[in-house]
Amino acid sequence: MRGGLTADGSLVEPLGAFEPILSGVRACEAVVFDLDDTLYLERDYVRSGARAAARWVAAQTEADPDEAERELLAQISRSIRRDPFGRWLRRRSLDPRVWLPRMLDVYRSHRPGIELGIGVQRLLERLARKHKLGLLTDGRLEQQRRKVEALRLERWPFAIVYSDEWGRQGWKPDLRPYQTVLERLGVPAERSVYVGDNPAKDFLGARRAGMLSIRFRRRGGLHAHTQPGCSENAPDWETTTVYELERVLTGQKRPQTVSAASSSGREDREIGGLASAP
Ligand SMILES: [Mg+2]
């Protein structure tokens, strides 16, 4: 344990277990972000797609579009992962074998009604001054491209890698997308940080690629209550607020706490077909 005063006289607290992450963040030249539930809330995408799908079905069946949308959103609020489209179709006496594939087509090809929060925009503004920015995202290529467009990420100089370019086998934690984004950024792995939300894949891939990893456990995220299955899947550090994330990444604050939030992991066992997984 070390402590003391810095050159400007401010107190340096003992680093202890956080020394590796602290020195890593200080040395970092590039920050690579995950997309879904990291830069924006994926539930907003699900709801926006559900609205489009409900209105499309209503138009085909001459039903009230507002009522159709309201009922489907209510199903999703009950459970985003337990076949909300199928339950909604059955309530309307519509055969899911006929309608579900067409609803999913509308859902996947809709123009997403999603946006970046003010805090994330500020974070990206600040980081872009001194860091290189990367984006590495799983999910169907066209769907992810539409999200990037809707979020207007072209406002920042992101190196963007869609892991679906290698097909499903290229999704995280496959090493290729991590290595590719680092190559495009021209930054060695040990001088980069990956920021993601999903302990099933995000941090394992980053660790294997030699990157530092941070979990942004944002409120309302689909994996916010998921615990890493083993230590290899755990991030080096985690936070629940974009404010703290910004302060740590910009060197204004040293990482001090790791959330002890626990969970049954119940939600993850219920994964259905609407999140970025399908
Ligand atoms: Mg994610």
Residues with beta carbon < 5 A to ion ligand 1? 34, 36-37, 197-198
Mean pLDDT of 63-76: 96
Taking the centre of ligand 1 as the mean of its atom positions, its distance from the CA of residue 155, in whole angstroms, is 21
- CA–centroid distance, 39 to ligand 1, in Å, is 8
**CA 267 / ligand 1 centre spacing (Å):** 15
Distance 275 CA to ligand 1 centre (A): 10
Ligand 1 centroid distance, CA of 95 (Å):
32
Q: How much distance in Å is there from the Cα of 90 to the middle of ligand 1?
A: 30
Distance 277 CA to ligand 1 centre (A): 10
**247-to-138, 157, 251 alpha-carbon distances in Å:** 27, 21, 6
Q: Which of 14-18, 40-44, 216-220 comes out lowest in average pLDDT?
A: 14-18
Tell how far the Cα of 93 is from the centroid of ligand 1, in angstroms.
35
Rounded to the nearest angstrom, the distance between the alpha carbon of 33 and the centre of ligand 1 is: 9
Residue ranges covered by each domain of the chain: 4-41+115-262, 43-109
**Ligand 1 centre from 178 Cα, in Å?**
14
Q: How far is the CA of 64 from the centre of ligand 1 (A)?
A: 34
Q: Which pLDDT score is estimated for 19?
A: 61
What pLDDT shows up at residue 1?
34
Is the pLDDT confidence value at 15 over 80? no
User: What's the 52 CA to ligand 1 centre distance in angstroms?
Assistant: 22
pLDDT tens-digit map of 119-132? 999 999 999 999 99
Q: Return the minimum-mean-pLDDT range out of 162-166, 180-184, 220-224.
A: 220-224
pLDDT higher than threshold 60 for residue 219: yes
The mean pLDDT of 154-158, rounded to a whole number, is 97
Round to whole Å and give the CA distance between 4 and 2.
7
Cα of 276 vs centre of ligand 1, distance in Å, is 8
DSSP 33: E
- First-to-last alpha carbon distance for the chain, in angstroms, is 47
Distance 174 CA to ligand 1 centre (A): 15
Distance between Cα 12 and ligand 1 center (Å): 34
What's the rounded mean pLDDT across residues 115-119?
96
Q: Do residues 146 and 36 lie in contact, with contact meaning Cβ atoms separated by under 8 Å?
A: no
Burial 9-22 (b: 16+ CB within 10 A, else e): eeeeeebeebeebb
Q: What is the pLDDT of residue 275?
A: 59
Q: With a cut of 50, say whether residue 201 has pLDDT above it.
A: yes
The partner residues of 237 in beta bridges, in order of sequence, read 214
For residue 49, pLDDT beyond 90: yes
Q: What is the CATH class of 4-41+115-262?
A: alpha beta
Check if the beta carbon of residue 6 is closer than 8 Å to that of residue 166.
no
Distance 63 CA to ligand 1 centre (A): 35
Predicted confidence band of residue 57 (pLDDT cuts 50, 70, 90): very high
Average pLDDT over the chain, rounded to an integer: 86
pLDDT band at 17 (very low <50, low <70, confident <90, very high): low
The Å distance, Cα 141 to ligand 1 centre, comes to 15
- pTM of the shown model: 0.85
Instruction: Decide: 89 and 99 in contact? Cβ < 8 Å.
Output: yes
What lies within 8 Å, CB to CB, of 227 at 6+ separation is: 199, 262, 263, 265
- Using the mean position of ligand 1's atoms as its centre, give its distance from the Cα of residue 200 in Å: 10
